[in-house]
Chain A
Amino acid sequence: MDNLPDLMDNVSFNMASRAGDRLMKLTFFHMQGYRDLPEDFSKRYASVWVNPPNDELCDPVRVGQYLRWNLQELHYAAELGYDGVGTNEHHQNAYGFPMPSLTAYHLAATTEDVAIVLLGQTLPMNHPLRVAEEMAQIDALSGGRLVAGWPVGTTMDVNHCYGVIPSQTRSRFMEAHDLIKAAWTRPGPFIWNGKYHKLRNVNPWPKPIQKPHPPIWLAGGGSMETWELAAKNNYVYPFLSFNGHLAGRAIMQQFWDCNEAAGNDANPYRAGFAQIVVVAETDQDAEKLYASHISNFYRKTLHIPPYFSGSPGYSSKRSMVNAMNKFQEPTAFSTVPTMVDWKEAIESGKVIGGSPETVRQRMEEAAKTLRVGHFVLLMQLQSMPHDLTLYNIRMFAENVMPHIRHLWDDKWSATGYWPSGARTPKVAAVARPVLSGVA
């Protein structure tokens, strides 16, 4: 039912869902960060993650306001025709909030066409059956619009916040992966005798609408095991870093090498890339509007000490040897700089920002050089106010999106890598938020 033969691509081009199949997939992705950290945050506190004291820094009333804004921003993106809206899972930090499936459930209930890109739950620290059930429930509610993101998780979340033994992170991930996939594809009930989970009756109600299962994305850093798993199973690998598209080339090249070794095609819809994108009328306007928020983001949100990011046992020996050969260090996570001004951000590619024309060119260049069919667009950076975020979402939707959509539609299909129930959203007539300070 789901695995429609390729000829369907030709005969049903007039159906919205099939026409959309070949279009570049643009997902507005909300990191849901804490917007008001003190100016001297990185001087006063050792880390943005794990142990920044909650009573000193995290006001639940403000969080309530942020969560409302976040949902409004996600809805606005859906109304403006983004292909996907999504969020992620992080814990005990100012960088993002912990329960993405709650956000996804709300979006599933209140949107029609857009894909719900749920990059979490983090498999090693959640009960796999619970993940299977929650995701299936969201897929059912959304009518088959779920992207099931299965991150291994950062060491801060998995090992430091949730106490999973670092050396068991990968094996717990793999067992959860196998169990969820079995729960979604095998008829229930069946017996599961794993190392970490022993179950007499695996029998989730419901299973997902999408068959054999929703497209699976492995939200990844740079670990070799993740590339191989994606290549072996035809999962999407969206590379998530904050170093931008230029620095991402080396990693994506290794991912594509992995696919070649596995005998896979070079379908760009196998790959995604998370990229910070900010758009304004002109390059100068963009700098004026966004520069302070970008530097704020790098200075505070990525303020993570190496002893949190390089937990012993988290990375496999292979990945550490690989990192050592490239960077002279076995743990490479802590290479994101924390002082980034506008010029540096643009030149290094960390940020694609400027006028619509500038952003169009850079996006095309990034998509082609990285060979990605999915962009995970990071367009709200913590301190960015609500109205500026809406402005950014709209500027991109109206002035950039239409021009980069057709980048891959000569040849490649996203079937299997994008939810079968999602349709290229019709652009609704939406109110244009007034942005103070912008002509």
Chain B
Amino acid sequence: MILNDPESRKVSLASGLSADVLVKGRGAPLLFLHPAQGRVWSPFLDSLAQTHTVYVPLTPGADEPDELMSFDAFSDLALFYDDLLRALSVDDAVVIGHAFGGMAAAEFAAHCPDRVSALILIGAMGLWFDEMPVADVHTTHPTELAGLLFTDPDSEAARSVLQKPTPQDRLAYQLVMGASCHFYWPVPDRDLKRRLYRITAPTLLIWGDADRVVPPAYADAFARGIREARKVLVHGAGHFPHLERSAEVIGSITSFLGESVPEFAAAR
């Protein structure tokens, strides 16, 4: 139904850059940062939009790669999101990030702790152990990619993320992966570990217990480094637990926010 589609906004930032943001819902602001596979609107985001104003910015450079010249590191990306919240007149927001988006969300929370009221990391990249390398989705054979990312490669969730029927879809997919890789190629470790202590927001770590891209042991590493963190393992889910077990993950998020964010509890 067309009324249910998110609104697409071009938000001008003080830096001169602009952000391409999908917006939907009413309530406290919530920023969702998408993975390298791209920004796909989902029933999961619809659920969040019932209680929040959900903002989903496209990773800078994902439409026009020339913009990436303005970004040398995650500090630049953190300033981009800081500028975005300022432009939206948002003081602080619940920030959810998935995979590469999780890495970006954790960096944002570490760089600008006052901007983040609660942090939710789903299968987040950003930490690194040589003995347990984060999988390289960019050098996985296309026929094996769905099986790496999802427990059920034939599921609707897998199709919604990976099916690219038109050349335009495939171009957009190349572009968004290219923009994401700009920040973490070839080893997704940019010393976030050193900055985790700066994250003050209450943090929820959501991991598929069958995540083969960022193994669940990384959730424990995040939990050890972040001041106030708790972990939820989603049984039978892979790297996209919020799409594979949407209702369960929404349940976890709702109860976490109810306990952690006073305004959210009051609003309910």
Q: Which of A165, A305, A331 contacts B174 (CB 8 A)?
A: A331
Q: Which of B11-19, B135-143, B251-259 forms part of the interface with chain A?
A: B135-143
Classify chain A's interface size: 20 to 34
- In the assembled complex, the Cα of A211 lies from the Cα of B170 at a distance in Å of 46
Cα of A324 to Cα of B187 in the assembled complex, Å: 29
Chain A contacts of B6 at CB under 8 A? none
Q: Is A310's CB under 8 angstroms from B174's CB?
A: yes
Asked if A328 is at the interface of the complex by the 8 Å CB criterion, the answer is yes
Of B139, B142, B185, which one neighbours A165 at CB under 8 angstroms? B185
Contact between A168 and B182, CB atoms less than 8 A apart: yes
- Chain A residue numbers with a CB within 8 Å of B167 are 324, 328-330
Identify B182's interface contact among A160, A165, A316, A320, CB under 8 A: A165
B138 CB to closest chain A CB (Å) equals: 6
Closest to A50 in B: B139
The prevalent SS among residues of B at the interface is: helix
Flag whether B178 is at the interface (Cβ < 8 A).
yes
Assembled-state Cα–Cα distance A330/B179 (Å): 15
Interface 1/0s, chain B 135-176, versus A by CB < 8 A? 000111110000000000000000000000001101100110
CB <8 Å contact, B182 and A167: yes
Q: Known contacts A313-B65, A316-B65; is A306 also within 8 Å of B142 by CB? A: yes
User: Does A312 belong to the interface (CB within 8 Å)?
Assistant: yes
B61 contacts the other chain (CB 8 A):
yes
Contact of B174 with A167 in the complex, beta carbons under 8 Å: no
Q: Is the CB of B142 within 8 A of A313?
A: no
Contacts of B36 in A (CB 8 A): 312
Q: Which residue of B lies closest to A315 (CB)?
A: B174
A residues within 8 A CB of B140?
A: 307
Quote the shortest CB–CB distance from A319 to chain B (angstroms).
11
Per-residue interface assignment for chain A, residues 89 to 104, with 1 indicating a CB less than 8 Å from any chain B CB and 0 otherwise: 0000000000000000
Closest Cβ of chain A to B222, distance in Å, is 25
**B232: CB under 8 A from chain A?**
no
* Contacting pair A166 B178 (CB below 8 A): yes
Q: Is the interface of A mostly helix, strand, loop or mixed?
A: loop
Q: How far is the CB of B67 from chain A (nearest CB, A)?
A: 10
Of A163, A168, A321, A331, which is within 8 A of B186 by CB?
A163
Instruction: From known contacts A165-B185, A166-B178, infer whether A321 and B138 are also in contact, taking CB-CB under 8 Å.
Output: no
With a CB–CB cut-off of 8 A, which chain A residues contact B132? none
Q: Which of chain A's residues has its CB closest to B170's CB?
A: A330
**CB–CB A167/B171 < 8 A:** no
Say yes or no for B266: interface residue by CB 8 A criterion: no
Residue of B nearest to A311 (CB): B138
Shortest beta-carbon distance from B209 to chain A in Å? 27
A47 and chain B: residue at smallest CB distance: B139
A159:B186 contact, CB within 8 angstroms: yes
- Chain A residue numbers with a CB within 8 Å of B180 are 312
Closest to B177 in A: A312
Question: How near does chain B come to A83, taking the closest CB pair, in angstroms?
Answer: 40
Is B65 a contact partner of A167 (Cβ separation < 8 A)?
A: yes
- Whether A320 contacts B185 in the complex (CB less than 8 A), given A167-B65, A171-B69, A306-B142, comes out as no
Determine whether A314 belongs to the interface, using a CB cutoff of 8 Å to chain B. yes
Q: Which of B139, B141, B171, B181 contacts A321 (CB 8 A)?
A: B171
* Mask of B32-65 contacts with A, CB within 8 angstroms, 1/0: 0000100000000000000000000000010011
A270-317: which have CB < 8 Å to B? 305-308, 310-317
Q: Provide the residues of chain B in CB contact with A324, threshold 8 Å.
A: 167-168, 170-171
Expressed in whole angstroms, the Cα–Cα distance for A310 and B139 within the complex equals 10
Residues of chain B lying within 8 A (CB to CB) of residue A160: 139, 186
Q: Write the residues of chain B forming the contact surface with A, with a CB cutoff of 8 angstroms.
A: 36, 61, 64-65, 68-69, 138-142, 167-168, 170-171, 174-175, 177-182, 185-187
Add 6 more A-B contacts to A307-B141, A312-B138, A329-B170 (CB < 8 A): A159-B185, A163-B187, A167-B65, A312-B178, A313-B185, A316-B65
Which A residues have a C-beta under 8 Å from some C-beta of B? Answer: 46, 159-160, 163, 165-168, 171, 195, 305-308, 310-317, 320-321, 324, 328-331
**Closest A-B pairs by Cβ, 6 of them:** A313-B178, A312-B177, A312-B178, A167-B182, A330-B171, A165-B185
Q: Can you list 25 A-B pairs with a CB-CB distance of less than 8 A?
A: A159-B186, A160-B139, A160-B186, A163-B186, A166-B182, A167-B178, A167-B181, A168-B182, A171-B69, A311-B138, A312-B138, A312-B177, A312-B181, A313-B68, A313-B177, A313-B179, A317-B64, A317-B65, A317-B171, A320-B174, A324-B167, A324-B168, A324-B171, A329-B167, A330-B174
